[in-house]
Chains A and B, each alone.
Chain A
Amino acid sequence: MASGGITPAAAEAGLEALRSGWLTMGPRTEALEAALAERLGAEHVVAVSSGTAALHLSCLALGAGPGSEVVIPALAPRSCAGAAAAAGARAVPHDIAGIDPDPDLVLATIGEATGAVLARHPLGYPADLGALAEACAARGVALIEDCREAIGATGRGEALGRAGTVALLSFSSSRQLPSNEGGAVVTDDEEIAGKVRSLRSHAMTSGTWDRHRGHAETYDVIGVGFNYRIDEVRAAIAHAGLEGLDARVEELRERATVLEELGELAPGALIEGSSPLAVPLVAEEPSGVEALEAAVVEAGARAERVEVRGDGELPEARALAARILLAWL
């Protein structure tokens, strides 16, 4: 279960940042953003304090705030609804039967008030978002591609993060590219990137780094922003960690392949192209989950059940939740 894994080179880069004495967002944060943008083929990457912060700011930048709804998968982690609600939006769970969201089930929850749809690549397994992206575009609803659990996954041969209006990354210590705590918003939209950049540091018109270099005398505050800044040490750790990312993903896949032997994979989960954090195993019947759990623990992995969010009907999600068990790598 040791998903945490800051490589020695990444740790050294963090210490080097520390020795420099400049700790708040500056050149190392800019370098991380540039490296991620290049890797993902995106115009803009804005690094923030966490993946949750990335979603909170994305909702605000997309205008999915008070009075609007953000559609989330019913099997999403708590932070999806939490960050959308922090932005003032109402989180509305949609039904889901596996890794890939069914566009019809998502569309069934889209209404007048929908400000954004969030689609996940859960646990590092690339979801097929093509049809959903088209459906969202046709409805004029922004798609947030949640890659917080899927850095390093390649989907159909390409890095994930290009399907939606924005994509979210996380550098949490339990993820593929750990920097202890951190995250990022990825987008080609300059206006959205500008809003996220502004809101991550109190909607101030200049930053500490600008003022340190004498580029700005003072600042105005033009909105209600937050302190969602990453710092230079964490930025340096994430940046240097990119070097070892592909090897790490390869290792995770190998470990997943071993656990895969314990049962059936959840619908849509393919280890090839994934960047797995856990192996989602399904029992034929709910009564079989206990035996599955025993096998997972026997194999030395941590087993976890999955919760359904909200109290809606959500029949597919409830049926899957009754049969699924996560074996953490």
Chain B
Amino acid sequence: MAGHERIPVFDVLVTDDDVAAVEAVLASGNPGMSAEAERFEREFAEHLGVEHVVALSSCTAALHVACLEAGIGPGDEVIVPALTFVATAAAVRYSGGTPVFCDLVDTETLQIDPDAVEAAIGERTKAVLAVHFAGYAAAADRLREICDERGIAFLEDAAHVPVASLGGRAPGGFGRSGCFSFFSNKVLACGEGGALSTDDPDVAAFARAVRGGEAPGRGELGPALNYRLDDARAALLLSRWRRLSDEIESRRLHVRRYFELLADVDGLSVPFANEEVSNSSGYLMTVLVDPERRREIRADLLSEHGIQTTIFPAIHELTAYRELHPGLSLPHTEHVARAHIVLPLFPHMTEGQQDRIVESLAAAIG
């Protein structure tokens, strides 16, 4: 590294207020689960415009609960995108179901294609689990309509979008269940955490029961788990939640500035449009480069410029998923999976850091 300050791809800034909030819970001597988690659930539900939020130990837990609640079991198929974190597809498998992968709309709109979803729905399809990728909303309104027409469940992986909008409504509020992530690299982070949103009181009651180690309808010796979020983490979430809208504004400014700066760089393209930014959470800043050169460009950014980047492998190409659908071809997903680079983006990044990232990227592309 050429003497540069290192720039991480994600960065969590813990404030004195955050520390004080957790300290109060730890000092109370009763840091199990109760008051703070319930307070967070109420505030987050109000923000999303949904009836219920159930705080859970992770987004993976929320996805698992959503699939269980939708009655997914052996022989059932659930349609999912392949450009996502593996938990989206793994949750389907926990319940005994099979994930069926659908392609993206195109290589600029990195969201699942409703037309492809409609065409893929078959006899065994029990649900569609859409992902709002990178902080931008997928076509949840249209997907919900399609699912309603076919009498199947619509579920949302809203891990990237605790704050976003689709026609004035919050992603995560369109489906039977919406699943949120508070993992440490997310927009709203508490280390490990998640939540499930729903308008249906039965879905909420089911989620609360599973969280606490019960297994509704599955017998006294049936599967039961611990998906609790303790109050220390809930207090951290609440503290961070209260400044999230300011942080999202900063993220959006950084994304717009990235768009401006990157317009002058040859050899790359930038998914998502400027006018979409104000409705996004500004979670990921993605660029597409020549797939043949991506590895080299990322290595150069890291070793020569100290700039960390990340990528999302396509799920259907991972070892544990390859055999599920041999020969499956998802051209848009595969191109994006090979071509994209996720650049550093966090609320407190400076213009200087951003300039350096763009200059370094231009130099690495050459």
CA distance A93 to B30 in the complex (A): 33
- Indicate if B254 sits at the interface (CB-CB under 8 A): no
> Given A50-B226, A81-B224, A218-B311, is A24 in contact with B184 using a C-beta cutoff of 8 Å?
yes
Partner of A14, one of B223, B228, B232: B232
Q: Which residues in chain A, 285-309, are within 8 Å of chain B measured between CB atoms?
A: 309
Against B, the Cβ 8 Å flags (1 = close, 0 = not) of A191-227 are 0000000000011100010011010011111111111
Residue B19 lies at the interface, judged by CB distance under 8 Å to chain A: yes
Q: Which residues of B contact A53 (CB under 8 A)?
A: 225-226
Sorted nearest first, the 5 A-B pairs with minimum C-beta distance are A82-B224, A231-B191, A180-B230, A23-B191, A227-B60
Pairs A–B under 8 Å by Cβ, sample size 12? A4-B29, A18-B236, A23-B12, A78-B214, A79-B213, A202-B60, A202-B90, A218-B310, A218-B311, A219-B313, A224-B94, A226-B60
Surface stretch bound by A, among B147-155, B257-265, B316-324: B316-324
Given A11-B26, A15-B22, A83-B223, 11 new contacts (CB under 8 A): A21-B13, A81-B221, A178-B31, A212-B308, A218-B310, A224-B94, A226-B90, A227-B58, A229-B58, A234-B230, A237-B26
In the bound complex, what is the Cα–Cα distance between A14 and B338 (angstroms)? 39
- Beyond A23-B12, A227-B87, whether A52 also contacts B226 by CB under 8 A is yes
Q: Does A152 touch B at the CB level, under 8 Å?
A: no
Check B57–A181 contact: CB distance below 8 A.
yes
Q: Name the residue of chain B whose CB is nearest to the CB of A222.
A: B319
> Beta-carbon contacts of B32-59 to A below 8 Å, as 1s and 0s?
1000000000000000000000000111
Query: Once bound together, how far apart are the Cα atoms of A11 and B302, in whole Å?
Result: 36
Residues on A with beta carbons closer than 8 Å to the beta carbon of B31: 4, 6, 173, 178, 180
Q: Is B298 close to A, CB under 8 A? A: yes
Q: Chain B contacts of A15 at CB under 8 A?
A: 19, 22-23, 26
Interface residues of B in 278-299 (CB under 8 A from A): 295, 298-299
Q: In whole angstroms, what is the CA distance A202 to B191 when docked?
A: 16
Q: Which residues does chain B contribute within 8 Å of A24, judged by CB atoms?
A: 183-185, 191-192
The reply to whether B230 and A23 contact each other, CB–CB distance below 8 Å, is no
Per-position 1/0 for A159-177, Cβ under 8 A of B = 0000000000000011000
Query: Do A214 and B313 form a contact, CB below 8 Å, given A204-B86, A229-B192?
Result: no
Asked if residues B232 and A220 are in contact (CB atoms below 8 Å), the reply is no
Asked if A85 CB lies within 8 Å of chain B CBs, one says yes
**Is B222 an interface residue when CB atoms closer than 8 A count as contact?**
yes
For residue B27, CB closer than 8 A to chain A, the reply is yes
A81-B224, A202-B86 are contacts. A18–B19 as well, Cβ < 8 Å?
Answer: yes
Question: How many residues from B make CB contacts under 8 Å with A?
Answer: 63
Whether B345 sits at the interface, judged by CB under 8 Å, is no
Which residues does chain B contribute within 8 Å of A20, judged by CB atoms? 14
Please pick, from B220, B228, B313, B320, the residue contacting A224 in the complex, using a CB distance under 8 A: B320
Q: Does B11 contact A (CB under 8 A)?
A: yes
Between B90, B93, B218, the greatest number of chain A beta carbons within 10 A of the residue's beta carbon is seen for B90
What string of 1s and 0s marks CB contacts (under 8 Å) between A78-118 and chain B? 11011101100011010000000000000000000000000
Give chain B residues whose Cβ lies under 8 Å from the Cβ of A173.
30-32, 230
Shortest beta-carbon distance from B278 to chain A in Å: 28
A276 located at the interface, meaning its Cβ lies under 8 Å from any Cβ of chain B in the complex: no
* Residues of B with C-beta under 8 A to A14: 22, 26, 232
Report if B18 contacts A (CB, 8 A).
yes
Q: Are B318 and A221 in contact (CB under 8 A)?
A: yes
A220-B319, A221-B321 are known contacts. Are A82 and B29 too (CB-CB below 8 A)?
Answer: no
Interface residues of B (CB under 8 A from A): 8, 11-14, 18-19, 22-23, 26-27, 29-32, 57-61, 86-87, 90, 93-94, 183-185, 189-192, 213-215, 218, 220-226, 228-233, 236, 295, 298-299, 302, 308, 310-311, 313, 315, 318-321
Partner-B contacts on A (CB < 8 A): 2, 4-6, 11, 14-15, 18-24, 49-53, 56, 78-79, 81-83, 85-86, 90-91, 93, 173-174, 178, 180-181, 202-204, 208, 211-212, 214, 217-227, 229-234, 237, 309-310
A181 and B220 form a contact (CB under 8 A): no
A180 touches B184 (CB 8 A): no
Taking a contact as CB atoms under 8 Å apart, the answer to whether B32 and A174 are in contact is yes
A113 to chain B, nearest CB (A): 15
Q: Is the CB of B226 within 8 A of A225?
A: no
Q: What residues on B are CB-neighbors of A6 within 8 Å?
A: 26, 29, 31
Q: How far is the CA of A180 from the CA of B319 in the complex (A)?
A: 35
Chain A residue numbers with a CB within 8 Å of B319 are 220-222
Give A90 to B218 CA distance when docked, in angstroms: 12
Contact indicator B184/A11 (Cβ below 8 Å): no
Whether the Cβ atoms of B295 and A82 lie closer than 8 Å is no
Known: A6-B26, A219-B313. A51 touches B90 (CB 8 A): no
Residue of B nearest to A51 (CB): B226
> CA A19 – CA B87 in complex, angstroms?
28
Residues of chain A lying within 8 A (CB to CB) of residue B18: 18
> Known: A219-B313, A224-B90. Is A21-B12 also a contact (CB below 8 A)?
yes
A217-B295, A221-B318 known; A180-B32 Cβ under 8 A = yes
Partner of A82 from the list B8, B86, B215, B233 (CB cut-off 8 Å) is: B215
CB-defined contacts of B236 to chain A, threshold 8 Å: 18
A312 to chain B, nearest CB (A): 10
Closest to B313 in A: A218
Q: Closest A residue to B20 by CB, please name it.
A: A15
Shortest beta-carbon distance, A126 to chain B, in Å? 24
User: A18-B19, A23-B189 known; A79 and B224 CB under 8 Å?
Assistant: yes
